[in-house]
Amino acid sequence: MGVEGGMKCVKYLLFFFNFIFWLCGLALIVVGILVQMALHNTFMIRDASASGAPIVLIGIGVVIFFIAFFGCCGAWKENYCMVTTFAVLISLVIIVEIAAAIAGYVFRNKLSAVVQDSLTEMIQKYNNGTADFKRSVDQLQEDLKCCGVNSSSDWRSFRPEGNSVPDSCCVNVSKSCGQGAMTNPAKVYQKGCHDAMVALLKKNIQWVIVAALVIAFLQIMGIVFACMLMRGIRSGYEVM
């Protein structure tokens, strides 16, 4: 009777952990989409390698979403085959997550160069860009309180006289406030956006790593409970 009670507890714990997995999968999908949108719309990073991490996040989220549902059914019905398949699939997901973590670490090391290239391209395309593109660039500079890539002088080709910057570079934004004020620290931010953007992205990456560690812990616990339940089912214990 003691073993039966223990197996019943494992069964419900596995069901509970799978419900948490389901929520984690949904969260990964949402985070992946938000990161992808931030990189390509808000930060306008066009480097293909930058899309790797959010796409992997979305992919893993979708897989976990369905695996968790599969695991819930296996635990509730006490189906040995379904629980075994769940444990194997979760193990494969952990392997993929390790590969994604390595890829993310590699991207972290080249983050500075990617941001540098993306911001340079952003400035070069500003004058001929669409209204939405210009609005995104202006919003970026206003939010980060910066101007240009490394300094305000990166906007020297913005106007023919070479001494004007977009109004979004101004300390107090107003119409034509950037006209002829490129090197005026009282009117225009002199610090470029590169360092501010890299710092922001690294901070966000740290939160993603923390979330990944929490999810990995839950996945390992899920595998442990699945193996315990598999052993109970295979031994012929009644866990209903």
- Looking at the structure, tell me whether residues 105 and 119 fall in a common domain: no
**Are both 35 and 46 inside the same structural domain?**
yes
Whether 240 is in a domain gets the answer no
Per-residue pLDDT at 238? 45
Rounded Cα distance between 27 and 113, Å, is: 29
Domains identified in the chain, total number: 2
Q: For residue 147, which phi and psi values (nearest 5 degrees)?
A: -150, 120
Please tell me the predicted confidence (pLDDT) of residue 146.
Answer: 93
For residues 15 and 214, give the distance between their C-alpha atoms in angstroms, rounded to a whole number.
18
Is residue 93 in a domain? yes
Residue whose token pair is 């470029």: 192
Question: Could you tell me if 161 and 178 are in contact, meaning their C-beta atoms sit under 8 angstroms apart?
Answer: no
Tell me what pLDDT residue 168 has. 93
- 51 and 17 belong to one structural domain: yes
- The answer to whether position 199 is within a domain reads no
Q: Residues 123, 31: one domain?
A: no
Q: What is the CATH number of the domain that holds 131?
A: 1.10.1450.10
Largest CA distance in the chain: 88
Amino acid present at 67 = I
The letter for the amino acid at 109 is: N
Residues 53 and 153 in one domain: no
103 and 145 in a single domain? The answer is no
Are 61 and 79 contained in the same domain? yes
- State which residues form the domain around 229: 2-110+204-234
Residues 131 and 18 in one domain: no
Residues 128 and 102 in one domain: no
**What tens-digit pLDDT sequence spans the chain (240 residues)?**
333 556 677 777 777 877 887 887 787 788 777 766 665 555 555 544 455 566 777 787 888 778 887 777 777 777 778 888 888 888 888 887 777 777 767 777 777 888 888 889 889 889 888 888 888 889 889 999 999 999 999 999 999 988 999 999 999 999 989 999 999 999 999 999 998 888 887 777 777 777 777 777 777 888 887 888 777 777 754 444
pLDDT value at position 41? 57
Tokens standing for residue 113: 């160069």
Instruction: In whole angstroms, give the CA distance from residue 57 to residue 19.
Output: 19
Give domain status of residue 75, yes or no.
Answer: yes
Strand partners, 9: none
* 106 part of a folded domain: yes
Where does residue 200 rank: exposed (0-12), middle (13-18), buried (19+ CB within 10 A)?
middle
| Domain membership flag for residue 239 | no
Does 185 share its domain with 155?
A: yes
For residues 106 and 121, state if they share a domain.
no
Cβ atoms of 190 and 152 within 8 Å: the answer is yes
**Distance between CA atoms of residues 45 and 15, nearest Å:** 41
Looking at the structure, tell me whether residues 30 and 92 fall in a common domain. Answer: yes
Q: Residues 6 or more apart from 209 whose CB is under 8 A from it?
A: 101, 104
